[in-house]
């Protein structure tokens, strides 16, 4: 059973942009301006790293500081993040050295999802360390929303792979079998050109599972959980009732593709994301509708959706509750009365127009 994020390394099948890397702590000591450091090794999950960057870079902007990213930060696999007026890349050893020296200027947030009034750059007007997960909208939304979405523009090879995948589905939908009297092995498939991208309603489905939320008891006690399979089935049924005349195609992305392939094997019009995870998120962000699961990967797939009015669900109750402007989330996350449940204020995590639904219990 996979663990979310642990499969990520720098063996991605595309080249990464070159960044200027700080190789010595003296470069920071001699530089002008303010610098904000953080521990980016708390999680390898893409969604967690995106929350951390989005909130910290916005906090840095509030204080006219630059955010410092370690060279090993896996966000490099997905995004350019090359604005030298706001971002500094540094060797991991240099970041560790600076953070060690700044231990008396370090703020450690115990809550994953709060937005406290932080007194930063007080003890040291030049350097500050803040550690945490920073999963709270108030750090960057709406003030820095446009800037964050621009930062999270996927690298060109990722965008190209996502577009190619969706276009491939369109080609499959356009395929016409001829010579129907021949044996299956002799049938020829041609394209009739009758289907275009605009004729298909792409429905992204993100299934979050894996050892970290199903087996790891610390995470379970903390409040993590997986959405039940019946939820996805009900969401698909309800969507098909709303989009009666639409050419629906379902695209399943997951951190446990083996489970997902078995679970959805008897469903029609199902396609499975090719990976890696950056390509999967790029695909989901291009979909017309999104049936999400619990977790930050779903959250960012919805937040970055490029459609003006995407239909996004993380739990569905009934078709009459849906409108083209409605975004909904899984109401039973996190587990009631869990540590995370006590930490999170959902009005500061989900966007104001996202609606909670309860069902599939």
Say yes or no: 129 and 184 in one domain.
no
Residue 243 lies in domain: 156-357
Contact of 167 with 189, CB cutoff 8 Å: no
d(CA 36, CA 64): 10
Say yes or no: 270 and 182 in one domain.
yes
Say yes or no: 245 and 348 in one domain.
yes
Residue-wise pLDDT tens digits, 18-42: 999 999 999 999 999 999 999 999 9
Is 10 domain-assigned?
Answer: no
Is 80 domain-assigned?
Answer: yes
Q: Return all residues near 9 (Cβ < 8 A) that are at least 6 apart.
A: none
Is 9 domain-assigned?
Answer: no
Domain end position, chosen among 151, 177, 204 = 151
pLDDT above 70 (res 181):
no
The predicted pLDDT at position 256 comes to 93
Is 2 domain-assigned?
Answer: no
C-alpha count within 13 angstroms, C-beta hemisphere, residue 299: 21
Residue 201 CB burial class (10 angstroms; 0-12, 13-18, ≥19): middle
Say yes or no: 196 and 117 in one domain.
no
Say yes or no: 239 and 312 in one domain.
yes
Contact of 251 with 273, CB cutoff 8 Å: yes
Say yes or no: 118 and 184 in one domain.
no
Residue-wise pLDDT tens digits, 135-175: 999 999 999 999 999 999 999 999 999 999 999 998 887 76
The predicted pLDDT at position 338 comes to 78
Is 314 domain-assigned?
Answer: yes
Residue 219 dihedral angles phi and psi, to the nearest 5°: -70, -35
Helices (H), the chain: 25-30, 46-62, 92-101, 145-151, 156-174, 211-214, 217-222, 229-242, 257-263, 277-284, 296-303, 339-343
Is 240 domain-assigned?
Answer: yes
Q: Give whole-number Cα distances, 194 to 173, 199, 245, in Å.
A: 9, 9, 16
Cis peptide before 142 (omega within 30 of 0): yes
The predicted pLDDT at position 315 comes to 46
Is 341 domain-assigned?
Answer: yes
Q: Taking Cα atoms as reference points, which of 43, 51, 39 lies closest to residue 3?
A: 43
What mean pLDDT do residues 81-98 have? 98
Say yes or no: 126 and 180 in one domain.
no
Q: Return all residues near 199 (Cβ < 8 A) that are at least 6 apart.
A: 170, 173, 247
Report the chain's mean pLDDT, rounded to a whole number.
Answer: 83
pLDDT above 90 (res 278):
yes
Residue-wise pLDDT tens digits, 31-70: 999 999 999 999 999 999 999 999 999 999 999 999 999 9
What CATH number is associated with residue 249?
Answer: 3.40.50
What mean pLDDT do residues 230-253 have? 86
d(CA 281, CA 254): 10
pLDDT above 70 (res 309):
no
- pTM for the model: 0.87
Is 160 domain-assigned?
Answer: yes
């Amino acid at each position: 059973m996979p663990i979310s994020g642990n499969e990520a390394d720098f063996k991605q099948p595309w080249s990464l942009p070159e960044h200027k890397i700080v190789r010595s702590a003296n470069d920071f000591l001699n530089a002008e301006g303010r610098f904000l450091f953080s521990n980016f090794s708390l999680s390898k999950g893409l969604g967690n790293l995106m929350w951390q960057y989005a909130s910290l870079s916005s906090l840095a902007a509030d204080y006219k500081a630059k955010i410092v990213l370690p060279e090993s930060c896996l966000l490099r696999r997905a995004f350019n993040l090359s604005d030298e007026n706001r971002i500094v890349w540094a060797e991991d050893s240099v970041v560790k050295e600076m953070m060690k020296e700044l231990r008396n200027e370090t703020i450690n947030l115990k809550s994953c999802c709060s937005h406290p009034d932080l007194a930063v750059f007080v003890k040291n007007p030049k350097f500050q360390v803040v550690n945490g997960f920073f999963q709270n909208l108030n750090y960057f939304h709406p003030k820095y929303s446009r800037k964050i979405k621009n930062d999270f523009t996927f690298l060109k090879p990722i965008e190209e792979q996502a577009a190619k995948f969706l276009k491939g589905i369109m080609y499959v939908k356009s395929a016409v079998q001829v010579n129907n009297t021949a044996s299956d092995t002799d049938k020829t498939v041609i394209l009739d050109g009758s289907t275009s991208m605009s004729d298909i309603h792409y429905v992204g489905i993100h299934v979050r599972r894996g050892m970290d939320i199903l087996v790891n008891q610390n995470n379970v006690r903390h409040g993590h959980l997986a959405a039940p399979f019946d939820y996805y089935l009900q969401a698909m049924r309800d969507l098909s009732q709303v989009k009666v005349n639409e050419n629906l195609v379902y695209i399943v992305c997951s951190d446990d593709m083996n489970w997902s392939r078995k679970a959805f094997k008897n469903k029609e019009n199902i396609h499975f994301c090719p990976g890696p995870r950056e390509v999967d998120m790029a695909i989901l962000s291009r979909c017309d509708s999104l049936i999400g699961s619990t977790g930050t990967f779903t959250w960012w797939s919805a937040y970055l959706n490029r459609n003006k009015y995407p239909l996004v669900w993380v739990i569905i109750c009934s078709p009459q509750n849906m409108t083209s402007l409605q975004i909904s989330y899984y109401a039973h996350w996190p587990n009631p009365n869990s540590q995370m449940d006590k930490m999170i204020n959902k009005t500061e995590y989900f966007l104001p127009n996202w609606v909670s639904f309860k069902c599939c219990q």
